[in-house]
Amino acid sequence: MRKSVLAIGAIQSSAIFLYGLSIVVSGTLGNSDAGSPLVQFLIYGFFALSLAATTWGISKNQDWARTPFYILQVFIIISGYTLISGTETGYKVSGVIVGAFGIAGFIALFRTPVQR
């Protein structure tokens, strides 16, 4: 299960970073309805970095990384629910995918024993 946690964490942190990058690119190239694209990129970048750091900690069997990883998965599940609550079908589909990855990450870490 540890490999599942590492794969899920890597996919999630990459996807979050790329999403933040896409906000900056779309905000720079066109008119953006979002607030400041740079600020949003910084927020998503910090979120991706936090997730990557906890995934790295889990790969090194560090006990400190488990609780923050759980909390980040809860935030991802909440983000998925928020997307599901949207009005467009694309948001709903992406919300199901995001929520499923959050649940899978939570369960995979829960099933991974603590290495001592």
Closest CA to 52 of 7, 88, 1, 115: 7
Nearest to 52 by CA among 80, 103, 12: 12
Asked, for residue 44, whether it belongs to a domain, the answer is yes
Asked if residue 68 is part of any domain, the answer here is yes
- Amino acid (1-letter code) at residue 39: V
Q: Which amino acid is at 93?
A: V
What pLDDT score was predicted for residue 78?
93
The tens digit of pLDDT for each residue in 3-24 reads 899 999 999 999 999 988 988 8
What is the rounded CA–CA span in Å between residue 2 and residue 58?
Answer: 8
Quick check: is 116 in a domain? Answer: no
Q: Give the pLDDT band of residue 1 (cuts 50, 70, 90).
A: low
Could you tell me the residue range of the domain that residue 49 belongs to?
Answer: 2-111
Q: What is the mean pLDDT of residues 73-84?
A: 92
pLDDT tens readout for residues 27-69: 888 766 667 888 889 999 999 999 999 999 999 989 899 999 9
Confidence of residue 113 (pLDDT cuts 50, 70, 90): confident
| Whole-angstrom distance, CA of residue 97 vs CA of residue 83 | 10
In a domain, 46, yes or no: yes
Is residue 18 in some structural domain?
A: yes
